[in-house]
A and B are shown apart, each in its own frame.
Chain A
């Protein structure tokens, strides 16, 4: 299964973190650091795979893609195929590109909840759900549409929401 999806920039600032096995924030930070240490030490034009059992436990591997200022990283165990994971990153990036029209790091920072929606449509509970960026886009757009419509309907007065505020 896929253990984690990580997007971070080349300085190690996380842009999107999704762990399919819970990790407390301090642990996440530590993992980020060690991943960055490994990735920044790798020259260009080498393979996109890294054996990550020192970081994420035995049998884990990670596949990464370095695009502009960002690293896209998928961590997974031996029930997945490296090359296929590399293509899954491609799907992810393609979808974002469709979503934001020429995606840049900033889109990802500001829309990280939307990014989560996209990832959730591609990977579900650590398993690959959908690999066609077109289908993913459709799902995400439908969510956006429904959200908007439900938004306009349920403009509820403060008093109602206040129920939860207390």
Chain B
């Protein structure tokens, strides 16, 4: 129907004829007949006929130039429809030589569409381009620049470069603009050839025409992406340009939908995001203009939102600032609440960026996120999965991965399937709550996206099954294995399985199929033979299968039982021994040989469950010593080490490259050095690796432990640091495969359990209580289905329970930190370092103290100390004692202000239990502060807790109250 309408209109228009002056009647006819074509085949026939006639006519001598232009246009059209028109390229090239502007432009258009930048014909155009770049007519120059952009490659850049550079000073601004962009293009093609001209970009930034300035931003963006540091000096200029643009200092013509030059704003924001990333000083110059933009951006227009989104990206990239973060969070929530799918998409993306800085904000938008997850829009769904991927932790991994797998099954786009499968695998490997779950998940992934998964994953899975829990719990291990065997035997019933999965199945069945005695050897062998028959499998699977059979036979023989050959197994064996693959043949013959061995030998060849045993390698080749001795006695040359051999020529030279290669790739056996405290980006790591692994998310407990261990720290920071450093890797492993912690809750429970026994039960009670309250608050929101809530709780619940738990810990009194302190520490705490550096810190220059946006959600415990003090003092007369304590503490801090480069950094190292002991002298004093502060704080918390039991309960559930209280 649609097509008919189009044709109808085409016919009607076609009859008007003259409406399209420049084109010939024949071209109209061509378009018309293609429009009328009823099938693809018919269309192809018409085009081929057209191409034939063009081929004939274009080669005629003395074609009038106007006619030639028409031919060329028809060729372009034919090629757009996907047909080869290469015979006409040369004519298009000739047309660029023409003096008449329309013909020249048509010629350039055709060559830019036809030719690749390394096409042979380019050489014929270069001269024309050179000439045209010097033309008086700016349109000719523009056409030449467009062509240069597309056609000039690395080799030919020098030929036109001088002319293009000259054009940077052209009186017409469009030409200057295009010249800048052409240079940018050259830079993209080959950075080296224009490296001496990069200063030009900086110069053009000050061009009198804002358009040219805007054009300069594109190459600068690329340059800054490559090398941030050499452009730091421009931060101030960029910020001031952005400010001017936002304040509508540009001519009205640059407005777009009432926004002043939005594209320039966007580029500037992108550039500033790059420059400010991880750079506190540079970021400081941007804060003001950003907050201006947040205020000014109108959210009614599309482009306004584009700028707003770019602001959010910038905020999430630069050194964090509380006020800006709040603005960004607000803008994001507006996006998420919008009805437009486009804005929701942007919102999800923005949220993904912001949670890197503060993971807790996702919680607020849980329902919006879940809506997006169930949206019919595929793009939005994928973006949401990306977000979920970013916010996965051990508490919600099960839900998220389950969702991902459901989605994996539902789509059939292989590219994305592979993508999401690899994400599932990654998450499962990182956060698996139990091995059982891991194996089940992997099975599902393999089943549905098997051949798209990296084979490394399969090997990991096999290793996991083989190694089990990595503890001395043989019972659990064998249970795991037999459950794996069970599930694989069941899965084998499925009609079609990917080959990688079959390999895993074969290996596991071979290794553990008969281990628990549930299945007989004959049964398993039968199944393995079925595998090779039922599934059209490749040689690798066959090799896995025959090896598995061999293992089972060996186990049987070693156990003294007799192995009788099943007929299907025998035929399989025969097939393989006649196989084209030598590998398969060898395996088949090995099996046959094995069957003749006695039990002792078979047991030695294939020991039971020995896949994890290390194969001992005698590196000294001691068993050859006798042989070498004899040879030397017989007159052979003794072995010379490589270093002595290097001077020689001939044979030794011949072999040396190999040896050098070997030496450069050799394994490194000594441990890596401990991280230095001066490198900030590494700092979060010790949190992960502190001896009790699970402290990661719980700054409160860190603080508590710190108080307890403060004295210890002074005594032996060195020892503990070394300890932590070595443990680093082990802990990571432990965490991956370790025993499941208390299922739903995050790691906190365990850590508490470890430190204070007997608290857990009590905690649980309170936790359920606070969960009730959150449920209440949620119920107030109308029309939210129970199911969604449940999903939300499982996705985000962990973080909710985290804050709740913080509250409970505070109620539990002196040990923990309280939520209000937590909240206010974010809002109120000024890093002492900054406050000293800048004599009058503007209120919006607060920082989070964490310079690295990618860091784990660690909160500087030092600031929390402060946070503990500050809100208390704000709470008024009730906390008089606290106030003095707080003041004292601050005085103490002031005393030490000048020692370390930045106090916040020191406190970080404190938190990591003195991991950075290298610079002991400046740090040793710190724990003493903590000790001195200790009692005061505990007092304060006692009072705080009693106050709460009496009246207000300032948990995380009513933050408003707190904001009111704290101002």
Contact = CB atoms under 8 A, between A and B. Distances in A.
Interface in B104-157: 105-106, 109, 113, 115-117, 137, 139, 145-146, 149-150
Interface in B344-383: 344-346, 375-380, 382-383
Contacts of B102: 147, 150-151
A26 B303 contact: no
User: Contact residue range for chain A?
Assistant: 35 or more
A69 B2 contact: yes
A25 B84 contact: yes
A113 B73 contact: yes
Interface stretch (B175-183, B494-502, B948-956): B175-183
B877 interface: no
A13 B179 CA distance: 34
A84 B64 contact: no
B506 to A, nearest CB: 32
B94 interface: yes
Interface in B440-475: none
Contacts of B211: 130
A50 B76 CA distance: 29
B647 interface: no
Nearest to B303: A87
Contacts of B704: none
A17 B81 CA distance: 10
Interface string A122-159: 00111111111011000100110011001100101010
Interface stretch (B3-11, B397-405, B959-967): B3-11
Given A45-B341, A47-B341, A106-B13, A124 B266 contact: no
A10 B1 CA distance: 12
Contacts of A87: 256-257, 262, 302-303, 306
Contacts of A111: 20, 22-23
Interface in A75-122: 79, 81-84, 86-87, 90-91, 104-106, 109-114, 116-117, 120
B174 interface: yes
Contact of B181 (A29, A43, A69, A124): A124
A130 to B, nearest CB: 8
A20 B182 CA distance: 13
B722 to A, nearest CB: 42
Contact of B94 (A46, A106, A151, A164): A164
Interface in A30-47: 32, 42-43, 45-47
Contacts of A82: 306, 342, 345-346
B9 A150 contact: no
B345 A49 contact: yes
A127 B215 contact: yes
B254 A22 contact: no
A45 B375 CA distance: 11
A83 B150 contact: no
Contact of B221 (A79, A104, A150): A79
B100 A84 contact: no
Interface residues of B, number: 97
A42 B413 CA distance: 14
B97 A129 contact: no
B99 A154 contact: yes
A49 B348 CA distance: 13
Nearest to A41: B378
Nearest to B382: A51
Nearest to A10: B2
A116 B109 contact: yes
A166 B90 CA distance: 12
B9 A129 contact: no
Q: Is the interface of B mostly helix, strand, loop or mixed?
A: helix
Most-contacted residue by chain A among B27, B139, B376 (CB, 10 A) = B139
Contact of A51 (B10, B13, B61, B379): B379
Contact of B82 (A26, A129, A158): A26
A154 B63 CA distance: 16
A9 B6 contact: yes
A110 B181 contact: no
A109 B31 contact: yes
Contacts of A90: 302
A46 B376 contact: yes
A46 B310 CA distance: 22
Contact of A47 (B23, B94, B379, B415): B379
Nearest to B34: A13
Nearest to B67: A161
A1 to B, nearest CB: 8
Contacts of A162: 61-62
Contact of B215 (A81, A129, A146): A129
A150 B101 contact: yes
Contacts of B55: none
A114 to B, nearest CB: 8
A135 B188 CA distance: 27
A84 B266 contact: yes
Contact of B6 (A20, A69, A81, A83): A69
Given A47-B379, A49-B379, A139 B174 contact: yes
A161 B64 contact: yes
B80 interface: yes
A84 B379 contact: no
Contacts of A120: 146
B149 A83 contact: no
Given A51-B379, A120-B146, A151-B102, A164 B97 contact: yes
Given A49-B345, A150-B102, A125 B184 contact: yes
Contact of B3 (A11, A45, A49): A11
A13 B34 CA distance: 10
A125 B680 CA distance: 40
A16 to B, nearest CB: 8
B98 A110 contact: no
Given A87-B303, A154-B100, A46 B341 contact: yes
A129 B181 CA distance: 9
A38 to B, nearest CB: 9
A155 to B, nearest CB: 9
A98 to B, nearest CB: 15
A146 B104 CA distance: 12
B148 to A, nearest CB: 9
Contact of B253 (A48, A81, A135): A135
Contact of A110 (B28, B61, B149, B178): B28
A132 B254 contact: yes
B98 A164 contact: yes
Contacts of B544: none
Given A46-B379, A146-B137, A124 B221 contact: no
29 contacts: A18-B113, A22-B115, A24-B116, A25-B84, A43-B376, A46-B341, A46-B378, A51-B382, A54-B416, A81-B306, A83-B346, A84-B306, A86-B302, A87-B257, A87-B302, A104-B9, A110-B19, A110-B27, A114-B22, A116-B109, A117-B109, A125-B181, A132-B256, A143-B139, A158-B62, A162-B61, A164-B94, A165-B61, A165-B62
Given A47-B344, A162-B62, 12 more contacts: A20-B150, A46-B341, A49-B345, A50-B378, A50-B379, A54-B415, A84-B263, A87-B257, A110-B19, A113-B109, A124-B177, A146-B139
Interface of B: 2-3, 5-6, 9-10, 13, 19-20, 22-23, 27-28, 31, 35, 61-65, 68, 73, 76-77, 79-84, 94-95, 97-102, 105-106, 109, 113, 115-117, 137, 139, 145-146, 149-150, 174, 177-178, 181-182, 184-185, 188, 211, 215, 218, 221-222, 253-257, 262-263, 266, 270, 302-303, 305-306, 309-310, 340-342, 344-346, 375-380, 382-383, 413-416
What are the 7 closest A-B residue pairs judged by CB atoms, nearest first?
A83-B306, A54-B415, A47-B341, A46-B377, A125-B149, A29-B82, A150-B101
Interface of A: 1, 9-11, 13-14, 16-18, 20, 22, 24-26, 28-29, 32, 42-43, 45-51, 53-54, 69, 79, 81-84, 86-87, 90-91, 104-106, 109-114, 116-117, 120, 124-132, 134-135, 139, 142-143, 146-147, 150-151, 154, 156, 158, 161-162, 164-166
